Structure 1
Amino acid sequence: MFIEQGREGKLGMWKYIPIPLGFFALMAFNYLVTTMTDMDTNAAMEQQIDLIGKKGLFLLLLAPFVVFLGGLLFWVKFVHQQSIKSLTTSRKKIDWKRFFFVFGLMAAFIIISIGISYFASPEDFIVNFDPVSFAVLFVMAIILVPIQTSFEEYLFRGYLMQGLGLATKSRAVALIVTSVTFGVMHLGNPEVEMLGPMIMVYYIGTGLFLGIMTLMDEGLELALGFHAANNLITALLVTANWTAFQTDSILVDISDPTESAGYEILFPVFVIFPIFLFILSKKYKWTGWKDKLFGTVKQ
């Protein structure tokens, strides 16, 4: 069982405190600086782009995750003395077929969705494709984006889910708390400033969706693949001047996001995510939903 594998190595519940505390303190500091100084996030990003370019800003935003992921895995391996495999999956070895299946499924969904949006309303987009700039973006993104998404998955659906599950003996507490904190982590994103607090429904809903996948499948492979595809393919295909990732993507969305904010936020959470869960549950023959999502963590 995935949560129970957190007992591998030397447990010591105090060991679960420093990493999340340090990361959340950093997020809180970033958010407070933004709000207390009344900073215009979009204007600040535009200034940074003027100074170091989109590639420079992309690198500046994602490079720290190399340190974050390395630090987390080091802590797990040498402080907890827990294997990375047991933090990743309950299977005998990491199932990369699961990772690439859901990655391909999500990538196809994003490509088709963006394609439909472009051909339905071409006036909402600018074709921004430049072969050289895109090639550089592709190399940077394919290396850095999976590192960023993997850190978030290992922290929330791996490390915190196992730690909270063991501490509270409740799968439901581990699922809900990690989903809410995953959403709260995004409070400092420029999307929140543009679309308002309603977008937290999407962020928390995404955390809940990824948490359900992890608990039902007893491993992180599906969550890792979905999250990587979502961020990577989107960064390559489309950007806007109000999003966290502003890249040399193929398309630039110039539409007013507030006009369709409700649909864009609620449709994925209440329609697309359940469809994905249905597809994955049939493919991987998930059973025992009540026990896996709301049951007691075994001693």
Structure 2
Amino acid sequence: MNYQDHEYMVQPARSYAQLWRTLLGFVLGFAIYAILAMMFVALFGALSGDIESLLSFADPEAQATPAGTLMMLFSFVCMTGGIVIATLALHRRGLLSLLGPFRMMAADFLRVLGVLMLLSIVLLMLPLPSGPDETPVQNLDTGLWLKLLPIAILGVLIQTSAEEIVFRGYLQSQLAARFASPLIWMIVPSVIFGLMHFSPEMAGDNTWFIVGWATLFGVIAADLTARAGNLGPAIAMHFLNNLIAITFISTQGPLSGVALYTYPFGMADAEIMAHLPQDFATIVVGWLAARVAISR
């Protein structure tokens, strides 16, 4: 495994690599995130007066609305703020140290995003089997969707970047500064990332399959981060995956408010299981393509 460039992200973590600092930083970051998110939602409600959006944000059974989905996506700026505050306080590290060398990150992001977009176009052209009850239906008027799309793209970028900054930028690099084995600094953040997707009220009997899928994605993102020495590839892969699933064809749920099309089922329905092998294969192929794109 060629992880020598990982040092770009690990070196800034070495000065304050005590395990107690990392654990406290992770907990503190999420505590600050929770406080900031509550303030964000309250401010959104006060400015917009959109109670329906607040309901769709908090209740998976509520009807998704564009405003509710966008509010959820943009609220992830609070996650980034929380972990940055905790990192500054406990590790004397700033945001840039969590991203890796900025120019490398930007170049790798664009390189991987371009490769994965081409791959996605090819995959979308392939005929995929679907039952009569799985045909997507139009969710938004095309004109409205096009107006919302630039805002939604920014929101998805904020959401995916926040998760990568927390789990790969912070937790992975801090653990790598303390432990040499990739089995620790790759697997532990990935398992925690997977468990953060534990939502029986939304996924029902499919919960543990969703957790497993998210854990696998975390391992792939960890590998790309260690190989590149920056968050660019992981953010690009995470961003494109979520962009398609949130803005183009979404399952029913709180994040379907800005989707052009939606499937007639949600994460808790049995139909979702038929899509997991396809999603798994797509992620693995995308991972291999991303590794080729960042090979130096």
TM-score range relative to shorter protein: 0.7 to 0.9
Q: Does 1:226 align with 2:232?
A: no
Opposite residue 235 of structure 1, the aligned amino acid is I
Contact 1:69 1:151 in 2 (8 A): yes
Q: Does 1:96 align with 2:102?
A: no
TM-score normalised according to structure 1 size = 0.74
Q: CA, structure 1 residues 8+97, in 2 after alignment: closer, same or farther (shift >3 Å)?
A: same
Q: Does 1:258 align with 2:270?
A: yes
Counterparts of 2:66 and 2:204 in 1: how far apart (Å)? Answer: 23
Contact 1:157 1:211 in 2 (8 A): yes
Q: CA, structure 1 residues 43+217, in 2 after alignment: closer, same or farther (shift >3 Å)?
A: closer
Q: Which moved more, 1:165-174 or 1:202-211?
A: 165-174
Q: Which moved more, 1:120-129 or 1:95-104?
A: 120-129
Counterparts of 2:224 and 2:152 in 1: how far apart (Å)? Answer: 25
Q: CA, structure 1 residues 120+196, in 2 after alignment: closer, same or farther (shift >3 Å)?
A: closer
Which residue of the other structure, out of 170, 176, 195, is the alignment partner of 2:187? 176
Q: Corresponding residue for 2:45?
A: none
> How is 1:91-130 mapped onto 2 (pairs within 5 angstroms)?
91=101, 93-114=103-124, 116=126, 124-130=135-141
SS at match of 2:295: coil
Deviation at 1:158, TM superposition (A): 1.2
Opposite residue 152 of structure 1, the aligned amino acid is E
Q: Does 1:192 align with 2:203?
A: yes
Counterparts of 1:97 and 1:3 in 2: how far apart (Å)? Answer: 16
Counterparts of 1:63 and 1:283 in 2: how far apart (Å)? Answer: 29
Counterparts of 2:224 and 2:129 in 1: how far apart (Å)? Answer: 33
Task: Give 5+ residue unaligned stretches, structure 2.
Answer: 1-6, 35-55
Q: CA, structure 1 residues 26+11, in 2 after alignment: closer, same or farther (shift >3 Å)?
A: closer
Contact 1:137 1:248 in 2 (8 A): yes
Opposite residue 199 of structure 1, the aligned amino acid is I
Counterparts of 1:16 and 1:43 in 2: how far apart (Å)? Answer: 30
> How is 1:61-76 mapped onto 2 (pairs within 5 angstroms)?
61-76=72-87
SS at match of 1:17: helix
Q: Which moved more, 1:8-17 or 1:68-77?
A: 8-17
Counterparts of 1:277 and 1:239 in 2: how far apart (Å)? Answer: 22
Opposite residue 156 of structure 2, the aligned amino acid is V
Q: Which moved more, 1:246-255 or 1:149-158?
A: 246-255
Q: Does 1:5 align with 2:7?
A: no
Q: Does 1:137 align with 2:148?
A: yes
Contact 1:106 1:230 in 2 (8 A): no
TM-score normalised according to structure 2 size = 0.74
Opposite residue 252 of structure 1, the aligned amino acid is T
SS at match of 2:256: coil
Q: CA, structure 1 residues 283+202, in 2 after alignment: closer, same or farther (shift >3 Å)?
A: same
Task: Give 5+ residue unaligned stretches, structure 1.
Answer: 29-40, 287-299
Counterparts of 1:66 and 1:92 in 2: how far apart (Å)? Answer: 19
Q: Corresponding residue for 2:217?
A: 206
Q: Corresponding residue for 1:152?
A: 163
Deviation at 1:23, TM superposition (A): 5.7
Counterparts of 2:172 and 2:242 in 1: how far apart (Å)? Answer: 22
Deviation at 1:135, TM superposition (A): 3.4
SS at match of 1:248: coil
Q: Corresponding residue for 2:21?
A: 15
Identity, % of aligned positions: 22
Deviation at 1:209, TM superposition (A): 1.0
Deviation at 1:150, TM superposition (A): 0.9
Deviation at 1:109, TM superposition (A): 4.1
Q: Does 1:282 align with 2:292?
A: yes
Contact 1:179 1:204 in 2 (8 A): yes
Counterparts of 2:58 and 2:82 in 1: how far apart (Å)? Answer: 32
Deviation at 1:276, TM superposition (A): 2.9
Counterparts of 1:281 and 1:182 in 2: how far apart (Å)? Answer: 21
Contact 1:239 1:251 in 2 (8 A): yes
Deviation at 1:193, TM superposition (A): 1.7
